[in-house]
Structures are given as structure tokens and as C-alpha cells.
Amino acid sequence: MNTTSRSAARSHHSSIVTAGKARGAGALGALLLSLSAFGCSEALDAVGGGEEFTSIYESDQFQTCSGCHAPGAPGKVNGTEATQDWSTQQTANSSLQGTASGLIGNFQGCNGVPFIGPSAEQSLLVAVFDSDVRQNFENSQFPSCNGDAITDETLRLGGDLPPSLLQELKDWIDGGS
């Protein structure tokens, strides 16, 4: 390759790199602009459930959930709900978007029931912590999931959730969780 050919090749390579950088900068700019328009914190909150869920997840009461509901958790035994993973806020939020499974015995009628229903009063998640919701719980697709089939998780906590935390949970669900 002669000097002129090398110079032309370098020039061509340089223009490709410059164009690529410009496109990359344009794409990065567009991404940053779209995140600022959408709200960067909103995009990040959607992954972990938002500020409201952060407060719930970080509470002492909900931190005990990972003792049974996490891979390799010391309290996880046969019959412990199988899909919940409270090892991180993101996995907790993600698993709450699903349905119950792995329940045995009296509780098996709730397998397949969404943790978060259309409202807090129709949410299996709330029913395990609120005796009134538990006793009145109905899901026409899962008639066997009723007050007798829903576990009382307050027994594991050593008592009821503080009323403010229970209300925070209900508000989070009613607000679109």
C-alpha cells in the first residue's frame, strides 16, 4: 500500500469513527432527553416499585420476609410460597407482580391467585396481613382461596403490622403498585 492509499484509508477510517461518535452522541442525547422527559427517577422507580414500595420494603416488618422468601432462606420449607423472592427490592417487587404457587395443604386453594389484585381489598398480599381483608377475601376464579385458606403472616411477625404501614401497603396497591 503506498502513502497515498494509507492516507486515504486513514481519512476514511477517521470519518467513519467521527460519524459513529456523532451518531452515538446523538443516540445518547436522545436517550437522556427521553429520560428527562419521562423522569429518570420514574424510570428507575418502576424497576423497584417506586418510593412508596421502598418505604414498605425497608420496614423492619417486611425485612423479615426474606427469612423465608428468598433463594436459600433459612425459613424456606416445603409449602412456603415458591415464587416470592425478598432478597432485593427489585426481586420483591417483581415477584409481587405474579401469582402464588407452591402452597400445600389448607393453603393450596390460593395457588395461582395474584398477589396484587385490582384493589388492596382484593389483594392476597394485603389479606395475609389484614384479618378483615382475609375474612372477606373472594376471587371468583379461585373460590377455594378464602379466609380459611389464606395464611396469617402476622403470626410470623409477632403481631399485626403497624396501622400506618398497613395503610401504606394498601395505598401503594390502590395507587397502581
pLDDT > 50? residue 3: no
Q: Pick the residue with more confidence: 166 or 41?
A: 166
d(CA 82, CA 79): 8
Q: Are 106 and 138 in contact (CB under 8 A)?
A: no
pLDDT per position as a tens digit, 101-149: 999 998 999 999 999 999 999 999 999 999 999 999 999 999 999 999 9
Q: Which pLDDT band holds residue 71 (cuts at 50, 70, 90)?
A: confident
Q: Do 97 and 167 have their domain in common?
A: yes
The predicted structure's pLDDT at residue 148: 92
Q: DSSP class of residue 46?
A: H
Q: Which pLDDT band holds residue 75 (cuts at 50, 70, 90)?
A: confident
Domain of 18 in residue numbering reads as 3-38
When divided into structural domains, the chain yields a total of 2
d(CA 116, CA 114): 5
Q: Do 19 and 59 have their domain in common?
A: no
For the chain, how big is the Rg over CA atoms in Å?
25
Distances from the Cα of 157 to the Cα of 37, 109, 118, 140, 151, angstroms: 42, 23, 26, 29, 12
Retrieve residue 88's grid coordinates.
432485593
Q: Pick the residue with more confidence: 167 or 36?
A: 167
Q: Do 100 and 18 have their domain in common?
A: no
pLDDT per position as a tens digit, 6-24: 344 434 333 333 334 343 3
Q: Per the domain annotation, does 104 fall within a domain? A: yes
Q: Do 32 and 71 have their domain in common?
A: no
Across the range 74-84, mean pLDDT stands at 83
Retrieve residue 98's grid coordinates.
405474579
Q: Per the domain annotation, does 88 fall within a domain? A: yes
pTM above 0.85, yes or no: no
Q: Are 145 and 109 in contact (CB under 8 A)?
A: yes
